[in-house]
Amino acid sequence: MADEYLITVVREVMQARQDVAYQRTRGRYEASFAGKPTGLAGAIVERQGPGDNTKTGVTQHRRIAAGRYPLFTHAGDNGKYKTIGYATTGLASSLPRPAIGVGDTDAREGILIHCAAGFLMSIGCFNPSGPLADGNANLTWADSRSRVVALIEDMRQRLVAAFPTQNNVRIPNTWLVIQGEP
């Protein structure tokens, strides 16, 4: 569709850290609307592969499979993450944190695009960041949070009346597109 909002993730490389028992997948993301880049782009990390949307993917804490997924506003039962009504302070301890829900992930539940710090804060989710040269590079909370907020607010401004007014609702014409299986 001409008015689609896409967040495209291209998986590039696996990164390891000596003191962490699992690897992270580092890629890059770019948002576009109506086929044109919005200017929102950067690095993004998720858990190790291979991509797996089955129960095995859940138990092995794998990343989700490459593909195209609808996006949703989100408010989980645990109160940690929300799209509408997230905490306005930038502290990591301030709840709820900003997030975007990813749908149609088969056996995988609670897959989000959310802010993080350190090596990775995810079991299947996506953590946006600035550049991450290797496994020793950390995500910084303020940078990651500002990137998630920017995506939410950009969608809200571009979709105007179509953007939902409550959580756990499909955001019309918005998609997460994941490419690659390093």
The model's pLDDT over 48-102, given as tens digits with 9 standing for 90+, comes to 999 999 999 999 999 999 999 999 999 987 889 999 999 999 899 999 999 999 9
| CA 55 – CA 58 distance, rounded (Å) | 5
* pTM score over 0.85: yes
Q: Tell me what the mean pLDDT of segment 2-15 comes to.
A: 95
State the pLDDT confidence band at 123, using cuts at 50, 70 and 90: confident
CA nearest neighbour of 6 among 169, 158, 120, 125: 158
Residue 2 has pLDDT above 80, yes or no: no
The two structure tokens encoding residue 168: 């756990």
Beta carbons within 10 angstroms of residue 90's beta carbon: 13
